[in-house]
Amino acid sequence: MAQLTLTTFLSLDGVMQAPGGPDEDRSDGFDYGGWLVPFADEDMGRFMNEVFDRADAFLLGRRTYEIFASYWPEVTDPDDPIAGPLNNLPKHVVSRTLRTVEWNNSHLVEGDLGEVVARLKAGPGREIQVHGSARLAQGLIAHGLVDALNLLVFPVFLGKGRRLFPDGGVPTAYELTGHRTTSTGATIQTYRPTGPAEFGTFAAEE
């Protein structure tokens, strides 16, 4: 049975919007695109290669699909650790607006998302991977469908932009299962959900 994993880049204040360039996502007036680039290094690249090496399929939102589809098909080296999986493995695309998807081995997702994810997880394989895909990621987390989070947190504060964990989400506890630090000060943390968040108090009992 496969696991659904989510890998995303975050600022210190939890923003995941447009990490790789100014034109990735300007929605809601976001003009800080490309905030990750100054912190990219070999440590980050090594971790991402490890992640993609575990992939058996991808579940992507429309915007992330379009960003990937505009770039990765042009990387034709079959030994590229990211291009190889992305160009060849199944890509399930969640969109209300796309009518066709032309990138090799891409499929539009139809029907209830929870049922689709359950069907994908029931198949063989190690990981069905979500990368970026902010709205999709938020929905999957809210419905308890994500088995593991890979959060790459970079030392920059943005002050605006779409966050991974929006206000009003379901309080959830996580267990840290892996961590490392990059040469540029980013932290890479892997978590798995353990259930509802618990609450207590430091107030002295009377």
- pLDDT tens for the chain, residues 1 to 206: 899 999 999 999 999 999 999 999 999 999 999 999 999 999 999 999 999 999 999 999 999 999 999 999 999 998 899 999 999 999 999 998 999 999 999 999 988 889 989 999 998 889 999 999 999 999 999 999 999 999 999 999 999 999 999 888 899 999 999 999 999 999 999 999 999 999 999 998 87
CA-CA distances (angstroms) from residue 68 to 3, 72, 85, 91? 22, 6, 12, 11
Query: 3-196 sits in which CATH class?
Result: alpha beta
Centroid of chain to Cα 4: 10
pLDDT the model gives residue 148 = 98
Q: Is 149 left (phi over 0), alpha (psi -120 to 50) or beta?
A: beta
Residue 110: predicted pLDDT? 84
Position 181: which residue type? T
Residue with tokens 């999709």: 136
What is the distance between the alpha carbons of residues 10 and 118, in angstroms, rounded to a whole number? 27
Angstrom distance (rounded) from CA 193 to CA 133: 19
Check residue 19 and give its pLDDT: 97
- Confidence (pLDDT) at 124: 85
Burial of 81 (0-12, 13-18, 19+ CB in 10 A): middle
Q: Where are the alpha helices (DSSP H) in the chain?
A: 42-53, 62-69, 83-88, 113-122, 134-142
